[in-house]
Amino acid sequence: MVRRLLLAGYTVSVWNRSHAKTAPLAAAGAVAMVDLDQAVASAEIVISMLEAGPVVGQVIAAALPALAPNTLWIDMSSTRQLEARQFHETLQQRGIRFIDAPVSGGVGGAQAGSLAIMAGGSAADFAQAEAVLTAMGRATLVGPAGSGQVSKLCNQLIVGATLNIVAEALLLAQAAGADPTAVRTAIRGGFAESKVLEVHGQRMLERNFVAGGQVKTQIKDMHNILDAAQAAGVTLPVTELVTQRYLSIEQIYPQADHSAALLALELSNPGQRVGTAADRLG
Tell me: the pLDDT tens digits for 6-37?
A: 999 999 999 999 999 999 999 999 999 999 99
Strands 137-143 and 72-75 turn out to be: unpaired
Regarding pTM above 0.85, the answer is: no
Tell me: the pLDDT tens digits for 107-139?
A: 889 999 999 999 999 999 999 999 999 999 999
- Return the CATH fold of 150-267: N-(1-d-carboxylethyl)-l-norvaline Dehydrogenase; domain 2 (1.10.1040)
- Domain 2-143 and domain 150-267, same fold? Reply is no
**What is the band of 51 on the pLDDT scale with cuts at 50, 70, 90?**
confident
Catalytic residue selected from 152, 195, 216, 220: 152
Annotated active-site residue 21? The verdict is: no
* All structural domains of the chain with their residue ranges: 2-143, 150-267
- At 254 the pLDDT is 83
Q: Which CATH number fits domain 2-143: 1.10.579.10, 3.40.50.720, 1.10.630.10, 2.40.30.10?
A: 3.40.50.720
Tell me: the pLDDT tens digits for 192-237?
A: 999 999 999 999 999 999 988 888 888 988 998 999 899 899 999 9
